[in-house]
Amino acid sequence: MNVENLPCVTTSITKQAMNARKENIRVADISSELSESDLLELSLIYGIPPNYRLILPTSDVRIIDHLNADQIMVYEEDLRVGVRFPLSKEIFDFLNTYEVTLSQIEPNSLCMLIGLSILAARNGCELTMGVVNEMYDLKFREIEDHYYLSAKDGFDIFSEEGKITSMKGNWKKKFFILQHPTCFGIPTTWSFKPLFPKPQGELTLEERKCVVFLRQRGCKAINLSKLLAQKCLTYLDSRPLLPRKPPFDMASKGKLNLNKLAEQMKKNKEKELETSGRKLSHQASKAREQANIIYSGNPPLSQGNAGVVPRVPALVTNISRDIKYSQKRTRVEGSVSAHNSIDELEICPDIRKYILKQYAENATTQKVVPESQELARLCLLPTDKAFFDRMDIESIHQNVDKSLFMLLNANHAYNRHIHRLKGLLTEEEIKKNELHHKLELAHATMVEQTTRSKKNFEELNYQFQALKLQYQANIKRLQLQESLIYTFKSEITQLKNDLRHAREQEAVASNGLTDAMIAYQHKIVSELNLRHPGRDWNFIYEIFPENEHEVTESRRPRG
């Protein structure tokens, strides 16, 4: 390790930290630098609906100021990273869950939230707050003013080079007030209380599948800016990420120059018409070339494609086919000149018939009769044979070109309608595929749940049968114990009766024995008094206990 380079490294790190602190701009110190023309530019570029009103903040208004319930602060950078109005369900739920307003979240975090919703939609899942809380934490930097999403371990799927918003604070100077007749349904002012997300409970099966799908994308494997660009070009309802400058020249500061804007839009429209005119002219030249092929009867020969007919539009090919068929009907032994008046007279009715059949009648059925009449008057070839005889081949070519040009121009609206219907059909096919995919997932989930439920039912049924057998055994054991208890009660009753009878007999026997002993004692004393008179034989009475002596004191014979 080279110790000499340490001071340089420390100095460079210190300079970078100082530059970072200089670049960091606190929102309480700055006002909006947008102008009225910038607001018009934003509404045109990002397609803000007309029921939303863009208000320019005054110089004393800050992004953290309190607003009415129908107003919120919006950064220009939020629109650039993909936020559209009305707000998507993911952003709506996110802001309401954490109880913060839109401008309080860092634009890159909003962009990451939109990117997650795109990836989840590709897998047929829905990005819920349970999925977001499983993958990210909402944190706050003390040196800055905005909250940001921090990926948990294993969920950092977006690469650094795909981040759209720069870490510099220049975007903080460009904000405006957005007003809507009804409330936005989200917090409208900044909240400075600690953020604690509402408890979401355990993840559902669909949410777990979504988390696994997003985690399998890989660490820093997805470019966020490319993902949003693809999203805007495919199926979501938001417009593509456009550059900051509008496609037309507009004053970036000061009042809007409407005259200059109108002139620029007029020039752009003229360029579009000129481009479409070139395309139609190119198609007309191809039609004329095809007509020359038919009139001469021989295709143009060129190096590498001898005998090959140039590719022309389907409309020109159909008209040319009718012309060719009419020439075949009038051709004599395969040798007919291009300037033969008989062939030219046969060309005209076929073209007229074809145009009337394919376009005039269709226009009439679609209730645009004046246009069809104008089309027939301007585009159809003349039917007067005398006038037609005086026309040369160049005039016929010009009439054909004019017919083709007017027909293509008249069908431009129908083509746009067809393209729009094709786009709607494609969207419906995408929705159909998404619904089919969801149906397959639902069917797979249902089969899995059915199998799991059947298995659980079998386990519960087995447990129920085991409990039933155990219950029956317990019932039998209880019945046996009840019979034993009844027997024991009977025996106890019998023993009680025997004991009472024995006690009665014992009491009777005890009383009889006492009386007998007293009588025998009197008899002995009487005999002794008869045999040996003059002696005191009362000591014999003392042989008995004192209590018994007291009991029998009354029974002693007197002297």
Range 18-24 average pLDDT: 52
d(CA 60, CA 80): 25
Decide the pairing of beta strands 53-55 and 71-75: unpaired
Does an H or E element contain 387, and which? helix 385-389
pLDDT band at 465 (very low <50, low <70, confident <90, very high): very high
Q: Which of 192, 400, 134, 381 is nearest to 293 (CA)?
A: 400
Query: Is the domain of 402 the same as that of 448?
Result: no
pLDDT at 525 over 70: yes
- What is the reported pLDDT for 123? 81
d(CA 32, CA 59): 7
pLDDT band at 74 (very low <50, low <70, confident <90, very high): very high
pLDDT at 165 over 90: no
- What is the reported pLDDT for 199? 58
pLDDT band at 340 (very low <50, low <70, confident <90, very high): very low
Q: Which of 91, 125, 138, 94 is nearest to 211 (CA)?
A: 125
Specify which of 294-298, 400-404, 490-494 reaches the highest per-range mean pLDDT: 490-494
The total of other beta-carbon atoms located within 10 Å of residue 18's CB is 10
Range 384-408 average pLDDT: 63
Q: Is residue 325 assigned to a domain?
A: yes
Query: Is the domain of 460 the same as that of 349?
Result: no
Range 151-164 average pLDDT: 76
Map 430-474 to HEC letters: HHHHHHHHHHHHHHHHHHHHHHHHHHHHHHHHHHHHHHHHHHHHH
What are 292's two structure tokens? 């020359």
- What is the reported pLDDT for 8? 39
Domain final position from 410, 443, 476: 410
Lowest-pLDDT range of 195-199, 350-354, 516-520, 535-539: 350-354
Q: Where are the alpha helices (DSSP H) in 75-147?
A: 76-80, 89-98, 107-122, 129-135
Residue appearing with tokens 């660490």: 219
pLDDT band at 328 (very low <50, low <70, confident <90, very high): very low
DSSP letter for 105, please.
B
Query: Is the domain of 103 the same as that of 252?
Result: yes
Query: Is the domain of 140 the same as that of 224?
Result: yes
Which of residues 50 and 370 earns the better pLDDT score? 50
Reported as a single tens digit per residue, the pLDDT across 414-460 is 666 777 888 888 888 888 888 988 999 999 999 999 999 999 999 99
Query: Is the domain of 252 the same as that of 267?
Result: no
First to last CA, the chain: 138
- Residues 70, 184: contact at Cβ < 8 Å? yes
Query: Is the domain of 66 the same as that of 142?
Result: yes
Which of residues 119 and 74 earns the better pLDDT score? 74
Q: Is residue 534 assigned to a domain?
A: yes
d(CA 375, CA 412): 14
pLDDT band at 177 (very low <50, low <70, confident <90, very high): very high
pLDDT at 118 over 80: yes
Percent of the chain with pLDDT over 70: 57
Q: Is residue 558 assigned to a domain?
A: no
Query: Is the domain of 186 the same as that of 323?
Result: no
Q: Which of 449, 446, 444, 441 is nearest to 123 (CA)?
A: 441
Does an H or E element contain 175, and which? strand 175-179
pLDDT at 358 over 80: no
Range 285-301 average pLDDT: 46
- What is the reported pLDDT for 175? 93
pLDDT at 347 over 70: no
Q: How many domains does the chain have?
A: 3
Q: Which long-range contacts (CB under 8 A, 24 or more apart) does 217-221 make?
A: 217/119, 217/157, 218/157, 219/154, 219/156, 219/157, 220/156, 220/157, 220/158, 220/159, 220/160, 221/157, 221/159
Range of the domain at 192: 28-256
State the chain's mean pLDDT as an integer. Answer: 70
Task: Give 154's contacts (C-beta < 8 A, 6+ positions apart).
Answer: 215, 219
Query: Is the domain of 139 the same as that of 242?
Result: yes
Q: Is residue 3 assigned to a domain?
A: no
- What is the reported pLDDT for 362? 47
Query: Is the domain of 241 the same as that of 294?
Result: no
Query: Is the domain of 71 the same as that of 183?
Result: yes
- What is the reported pLDDT for 413? 57
- What is the reported pLDDT for 503? 87
d(CA 28, CA 46): 27
Task: Give 97's contacts (C-beta < 8 A, 6+ positions apart).
Answer: 129, 197, 198
Range 140-159 average pLDDT: 81
Q: Is residue 56 assigned to a domain?
A: yes
- Residues 120, 93: contact at Cβ < 8 Å? no
d(CA 190, CA 90): 19
- What is the reported pLDDT for 544? 57
Query: Is the domain of 277 the same as that of 347?
Result: yes
Geometric angle at alpha carbon 68, from 64 and 73, rounded to 5°: 40
CA 19 → CA 5, 13, 311, distances in Å? 21, 10, 64
- Residues 129, 93: contact at Cβ < 8 Å? yes
Q: Which residues face 73 on adjacent strands?
A: 177
DSSP letter for 75, please.
E
Query: Is the domain of 376 the same as that of 454?
Result: no
What is the reported pTM? 0.41
pLDDT at 51 over 90: no
pLDDT at 498 over 80: yes
Domain final position from 381, 410, 439: 410
pLDDT band at 410 (very low <50, low <70, confident <90, very high): low
- What is the reported pLDDT for 43? 85
- What is the reported pLDDT for 383? 46
Q: Is residue 466 assigned to a domain?
A: yes
pLDDT band at 45 (very low <50, low <70, confident <90, very high): confident
Range 373-393 average pLDDT: 54
- What are the DSSP calls for 198-252, one per residue? PP--S--HHHHHHHHHHHTT-TT-B-HHHHHHHHHHTTSSSPP---SS-SS---S
Which of residues 301 and 204 earns the better pLDDT score? 204
Q: Is residue 240 assigned to a domain?
A: yes
Domain final position from 361, 382, 410: 410
- What is the reported pLDDT for 253? 39
pLDDT at 20 over 50: no
CA 448 → CA 81, 174, 342, 444, 455, distances in Å? 40, 52, 79, 6, 11
Reported as a single tens digit per residue, the pLDDT across 189-223 is 887 765 666 556 788 888 888 888 888 776 666 77
pLDDT at 150 over 80: yes
Which of residues 254 and 402 earns the better pLDDT score? 402
Q: Which of 396, 351, 395, 413 is nearest to 376 (CA)?
A: 351
DSSP letter for 358, please.
I
Geometric angle at alpha carbon 62, from 56 and 65, rounded to 5°: 105
Peptide bond into 181 cis (omega under 30): no
Which of residues 398 and 493 earns the better pLDDT score? 493
Q: Is residue 14 assigned to a domain?
A: no
